[in-house]
Structure 1
Amino acid sequence: MSDLLEPYQVASHDKLDPSFVRDPSWTPYTAVVYVLAVNTDMVSLEDAPKTWLDLADPKWQGQIASARADNSGSAMQQLQTVLTVYGDEGWDKYTEMAKNFIFTDSSGAVPRYIADGEASMGLTLEDNAFEYINGGAPMGVILLSDGTVATPDGVALVKGGPNPDGGKVFLDWAMSKSTQELLANEIGRRAIHTEVAPPPGAPDLTTVTLVDVKPLDDFGGTEEVLAKWRTAIGE
């Protein structure tokens, strides 16, 4: 990306979580965490699945909402997580889980299904779940302990842009403690700034195994993965 982006070190660089700093050409903005969201009027957090393998329990048949991997980047990343964690057994494990899934057309629909009671739980992004939780939905979130993904999204300067000085001011603002607190408290995003607490009610990331998912090429590429995914879900 060096031909597109202009490296810039934000004023708060020394306060950023180094585990999310991947490339000098862009700055990690927030950590995107994948969770199991649960309708707590239907299933208590104590009784809900705690691992990916728990999702395959037949008692959850027709109760787990998931976006389609051929229509959602987050659903594809969830699939990659299973394949990364379980290696050669990954496809067999996912096939068993998928027997319990209700597939939605978009990742944004998953928390709506859960909040409306169309599914008792579902795989979604943490901030999507907190949008409903903060709106009063009877919902909680679980980090699946055998493999949780927390990936950074980013902000950057475009190389040769018309207003680089203004861009630097914006990046400094975006990564300031006050802005990162706003993102955590109002939007439910995990801050990259180390002096900012997680969103209220968010579970502790240190209690689970964080996974760096393998790229799609490691599993044969996008088309091969999607073909195997369609077979796994019975299409």
Structure 2
Amino acid sequence: MGPTRRCIAAWGLMFAAMLPVAAQAQQKKVVIYTSNESTLNDLVFAAFTKETGIAVEPVVAGSGVVIRRLQAEKERPLGDIVWGISRSLLQTNKALFAPYASKNKDAIPVEYRDPADLWIGNNLHLLVILQNTKILPADQGPKGWNDLLDPKWKGKIAFTDPANSGSAYTTVTMLVDLWGGGDAGWKKVGQLFRNLKVLNRSSLVFQGVGNGEYPLGISLEYAGPMWAAGGAPVKTIYPADGTLATMEGVAIIRNGPDPEEARAFVDFVNRKDVREMILKATFRRPTRTDLDLATLPGGLPPIGSLKMLSYNEDAWTDKRKETLEKIKDLLQESR
């Protein structure tokens, strides 16, 4: 064999040897089922891929839809991570998750993580009312939940279908308790439903308020400062009659195809510098206790300055199925 052919053959062998390595590198990915909107997804996924080289394949849907998909796939999971769903949904579906003790767990209070490390909290969301002050002047909006029962708001309050949203389910059940519990509480919730415009996804609520399609929306805290920072005339109302801080978190799907990459994402998304990045860009209140909100953007008030309601999350989680049926019936009656 001449020198040229030997050179070509050597290069061929080197290229062939490199192929498995290149193929393996290309296969590093993580499939994430997320209920977060694109602003947060794009920010975090891009930063994660840049740092780790792991590509993210997102599947975006409301939290209820995400959970139903996980349940349908439980014998052969196609995803690796579920991210951005409520503690109630995480807790009631923990049989679908694999245990993992995140490197950042000690910075997060025990009430925001599963004792067996099947899920861990990322964000705390306060339930708030959003107001578009261009179409409804700032001083003419509601002060609290009870004000939303006024018939003048019929069709003017955007809300997410509780079947598709863990936070919407929490809002409804919180209001049942606030308004007396039992039949009395459900009667007032039925009054509220007559004023609501029920939408399929949480993002449609704050988009609708921010764009001026609806004067009011029942939503989560971060949406107000996020839209206001973008120039929208959105005011965040912390209800005078009280609110809750609800948690959402992340979990690794049991028997998912990419467990190593899934663990890397769980560690990444709760790291202190990543939480600061998320707060600065999207105004999500972290579960971590070592971030000083007073020095970070958003002007989020300390929880201690607000009226916070008690809420038996475990009890409402245990009867979630029958409660969703009752909510569905009440919504149909209110149409």
User: Is the pair's TM-score, using the shorter chain for normalization, greater than 0.5?
Assistant: yes
Q: In the alignment, is residue 209 of structure 1 matched against residue 311 of structure 2?
A: no
**2:211 & 2:253 partners in 1: Cα distance?**
41
Aligned to 1:194: 289
Specify which structure has the higher proportion of helix: 2
Residue 180 and residue 70 in structure 1: after superposition, are their counterparts in 2 closer, same or farther (change >3 A)? closer
**1:166 & 1:183 partners in 2: Cα distance?**
21
Aligned to 2:30: none
Q: In the alignment, is residue 122 of structure 1 matched against residue 217 of structure 2?
A: yes
**1:6 & 1:32 partners in 2: Cα distance?**
24
Aligned to 1:42: 135
Aligned to 1:151: 246
Is this contact kept in 1: 2:225–2:298, CA < 8 A?
no
Is this contact kept in 1: 2:161–2:200, CA < 8 A?
yes
Structure 2 unaligned segments of length 5 or more: list them. 1-93
Aligned to 1:33: 126
- The equivalences for 1:20-99 within 5 A come to 20-23=112-115, 24-70=117-163, 72-86=165-179, 87-88=181-182, 89-99=184-194
**1:168 & 1:2 partners in 2: Cα distance?**
18
Q: 152-161 or 131-140: which moved more?
A: 152-161
1:132-179 CA-partner distances (Å, limit 9, x unpaired): 223211102122243423322222345566765554443333222101
Aligned-pair identity in percent equals 27
Q: CA deviation at 1:37?
A: 0.8
Aligned residues: 232
Aligned to 1:133: 228
Q: CA deviation at 1:104?
A: 3.3
CA RMSD of aligned residues (A): 3.0
Structure 1 unaligned segments of length 5 or more: list them. none
Q: CA deviation at 1:193?
A: 1.3
**1:163 & 1:68 partners in 2: Cα distance?**
32
Q: CA deviation at 1:7?
A: 3.1
Residue 156 and residue 95 in structure 1: after superposition, are their counterparts in 2 closer, same or farther (change >3 A)? closer
Q: CA deviation at 1:28?
A: 1.0
Residue 171 and residue 82 in structure 1: after superposition, are their counterparts in 2 closer, same or farther (change >3 A)? same
Is this contact kept in 2: 1:34–1:125, CA < 8 A?
yes
Residue 216 and residue 81 in structure 1: after superposition, are their counterparts in 2 closer, same or farther (change >3 A)? farther
Is this contact kept in 2: 1:16–1:193, CA < 8 A?
yes
Rg (Cα) greater in structure? 2
Among 223, 226, 232, the alignment partner of 2:325 is 223
1:170-201 CA-partner distances (Å, limit 9, x unpaired): 33332221011111111221111112244513
Is this contact kept in 2: 1:142–1:203, CA < 8 A?
no
Aligned to 1:182: 277
